A and B are shown apart, each in its own frame.
Chain A
C-alpha cells in the first residue's frame, strides 16, 4: 500500500461559501480501494467537503490542494472530474422533470466511459444492478427524482455509482432518511460498489450505517477540519460516547 500513489490527497484545504469560511485546513489521504467514513455533526462542514470535491461552482477554494490520481483537480468543472473517475452520491438529489431515468443513465455512462454502450449490453448491466438494489423496472421511465420518495432517491444515487464504477465514490449522507429495510438494501449496494477498483468516502451523521458497511478508516469532522482519525472501532466509540467526547478531548475546558 505504501508504495502506491494515493488516489486522493487533500492538503490544507480551505473553502468558503459566499465569503464565509467553512473548511479550515482539511487533510485527507485515500488510497485505491479503501473505505473511509467521515463522521460529524450537522453543520460541521461535511457536505461542503463533498461538494468541493465534485466542483460545485459556489464553493471557492482559498488555499490548499486536491490531488486526484496525482493531478490537481481544484479548477476543473464537475464533468471533467467525473470523467477522471470521481463521483458523488447526493444527499438531496434534485428533480429534473421530463428527463427519463433511463435516458439520463445512458447519457451519463456514455459521457463518463467516453464511448457508446450498445443498448442491449447496457440494459443487461442495468437490470443486474437494479435487481441488486431492489429497484423496479418502472423506475426507468420515470423522470429523474421527480416525485421520488427519500428511499427511491438514495437507491437511484447508489445505482448510478454502481453503473459509473468510479475510482472514488463520495457518498453524502446516503443513509439519512432511510428506514431499516432500505438501509440494508442500500448498504449492500455500497458493499458491492466498494471493490479494489472503487474507493468509498462515506459521509455520515449516524453510526448505524457502519453496522453494515465496514470502513477501513473513520475520521471525525468538526468545525471544518478532521480532528481525529482511527479504525472502525472509532465509530463505535463515538456511538457510545457521543461527539462531545471528541470535543472534550480536544478542548479540555469542555467548550467547543
Chain B
C-alpha cells in the first residue's frame, strides 16, 4: 500500500508540473488516499473532438502499478467514438491485458487522446446498447474482446 501511494504521489507531482497537452488534473478530485483522480481532457485541435471537454476518472487499487487503473469517461460529455461506450467504458487493451507498470496516468491520458485523435467517424461501438445493459459497473470486470488480435 505504501509503495502504491508513493508512486501515485510522484505521478501526481509529475502530471501537475508537466501535463500532456490538453490534459489537466482536477485537484479537488484527488483525496488524501490518492485512490481516485479526475482528469480533465480537451479534444485535440484539428481532430473531430476539437473544442470538446471530457472528464476521465481513474481508480487505483492497492496493487497499483502492478494492477491497471480503472479508467472511465464520466460527466455529461462522453466522447462518441467506436471504442467508447455510452456509459463511459473504454475498450482499450492497455487498460486490461496489455497494462504494464511502466505505464502511468500520463501515458494512459496520452493514449486516450491519441485514440480520440485518430478517429475518422464519430459513432458508438456497434454493440453499445447491448453492452451498456449487460456490463458490470467496473470495466475491468468486462472480458474485453480485442477480437481482431489473432487476425
Chain B binds chain A: no
